[in-house]
């Protein structure tokens, strides 16, 4: 009979986040690089989100890049560093993303258009000037929030389980 609990135990201690390791095995280079890469990746994900209608990108690709930034932050700082960087509740972000995406998909029905129809909105922003926005951007924002919420939720739940198992293994 196979003991399936062993499958969940991490075999390589060097892959654990910084908070789980002692001072000698911390990856200082990764922790310092993350301080630069994390905000850069988030800004790049916002760029992908905004240009996704006219160029490669969009809500899903932007959400994946932002999710990778959060994964990098978790690997570098552990659950404590991750909790200080990300102070949002994942179910709220997931719910917000779903709400925005569904409302954007169904909004064209109110004006007699098919579901997921897109329109162009022209907005005059002070100090910037006229800006045209496709309504599909709102769907992309919903998908972006949904992907970020799922990644943060996975990191919090699965990461906490790995750290708990490591503490229990160290006590026994």
- What mean pLDDT is predicted for residues 145-165? 87
Q: In sequence order, what E strands does the chain have?
A: 120-125, 129-134
Question: Is residue 12 in a domain?
Answer: no
Q: Answer whether residue 11 is part of any domain.
A: no
Cβ contacts of 42 within 8 Å, gap of 6 or more = 66, 69
Nearest to 34 by CA among 82, 72, 78, 65: 72
What's the pLDDT tens digit per position in 56-104? 789 999 999 999 999 999 988 887 778 877 888 999 999 999 999 999 9
16, part of any domain: no
Whole-structure pTM value: 0.79
Q: Which domain holds residue 80?
A: 24-171
Give the tens place of pLDDT for each residue, 83-96.
877 888 999 999 99
Query: Residue 162: CA atoms inside 13 Å, Cβ hemisphere, count?
Result: 23
Residue 59 and residue 96 in contact, taking contact as beta carbons nearer than 8 Å:
no
By C-alpha distance, which of 136, 133, 108 is closest to 122?
133
Please report whether residue 14 resides in a domain. no
**Would you say residue 36 has pLDDT above 90?**
yes
Task: With respect to residue 13, please indicate whether it lies within any of the assigned structural domains.
Answer: no
The stretch 124-146 carries a mean pLDDT of: 91
Q: What is the pLDDT of residues 1-25, one digit of tens each?
A: 455 455 444 454 444 455 445 555 5
Number of domains in the chain: 1
């Amino acid at each position: 009979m196979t003991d399936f609990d062993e499958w969940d135990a991490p075999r390589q201690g060097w892959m654990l986040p910084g908070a789980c390791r002692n001072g000698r095995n911390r990856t200082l280079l990764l922790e310092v690089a993350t301080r630069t890469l994390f905000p850069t990746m988030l800004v790049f994900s916002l760029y992908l989100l905004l240009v996704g209608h006219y160029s490669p990108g969009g809500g899903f690709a932007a959400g994946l890049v932002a999710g990778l930034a959060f994964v990098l932050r978790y690997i570098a700082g552990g659950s404590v560093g991750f909790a200080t960087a990300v102070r949002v509740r994942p179910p709220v972000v997931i719910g917000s993303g779903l709400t925005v995406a569904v409302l954007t998909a169904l909004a064209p029905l109110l004006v007699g258009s098919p579901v997921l129809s897109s329109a162009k909105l022209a907005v005059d922003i002070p100090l910037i000037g006229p800006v045209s926005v496709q309504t599909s951007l709102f769907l992309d924002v919903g998908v972006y929030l949904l992907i970020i919420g799922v990644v943060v939720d996975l990191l919090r739940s699965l990461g906490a389980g790995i750290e708990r198992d490591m503490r229990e293994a160290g006590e026994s």
